[in-house]
Structure 1
């Protein structure tokens, strides 16, 4: 009788070892980082457009660095988000040095390096990706049918 129950007990114990990883898969995803939360707040009320390789940088446009998340360029109705190839390399405490090859445009193949704010020494390279435009959604005015 014990010999018959032994395989059943071993199988049941094996299920007990498998169950915790399966239960972990059902848990909600990890919380957003501070950078992701900041970007989400910035993008509220905006709709993503088709990614572009280059953006115009003439005029008084802002470049915002969101730590370990993205570079955000522009202001007003449309802003452009570049998550870069390795967003974890973006540090808002570092200085970006951008070498452009397209005149007044910033393109995904432009050379972007970082310099430590305190020692002024080279600290890394940022590889740009496509720029995704986010445009404010216009609210319909009252009385428009």
Structure 2
């Protein structure tokens, strides 16, 4: 085997391992998201949400952002580039006006070093409303 082919095999093996790790990370994120949204019912996606409706965020590693809304409402956002989302990242958004909207850019920074980690583009905001026992379904 030549040195070049050994190098190529090593690079391909590393790439396959990274892809496998990313798939496992997404699977863990989806499982965490399903657990977090248990007992909630999805509503119609929205392009924008008023900032006054949002009261905090939770990053689901490699998957999504959950925004806490008014009352029992959560807003799920699956941004493009979600694979780089981690709990130890600080999100900085620059809303235009009084709303956070689909396609707004959010910059990501390492919480320890404050170094830039990239940016993501927000997706649609899907409202999830908690369904109380015996209440049936609600439309957010």
Length-normalised TM-score, structure 2 = 0.70
Count of aligned pairs between the two proteins: 111
The answer on 1:115 being equivalent to 2:109 is yes
Assess, with a 3 A threshold, how the Cα gap between structure 1 residues 69 and 60 changes in structure 2: closer, same or farther.
Answer: closer
1:61 alignment partner, one of 52, 55, 61: 55
* Unaligned ranges ≥5, structure 1: 1-29
8 Å Cα contact 2:54/2:67 also seen in 1? no
The answer on 1:47 being equivalent to 2:41 is yes
Deviations 1:42-80 (Å, cap 9, x if unpaired)? 111111111001112216712111111110001541100
Aligned match of 1:85: 80
Aligned match of 1:100: 95
Distance in 1 of aligned mates of 2:82 and 2:118: 12
Larger radius of gyration: 1
1:38 alignment partner, one of 22, 25, 32: 32
* Unaligned ranges ≥5, structure 2: 1-22, 136-140
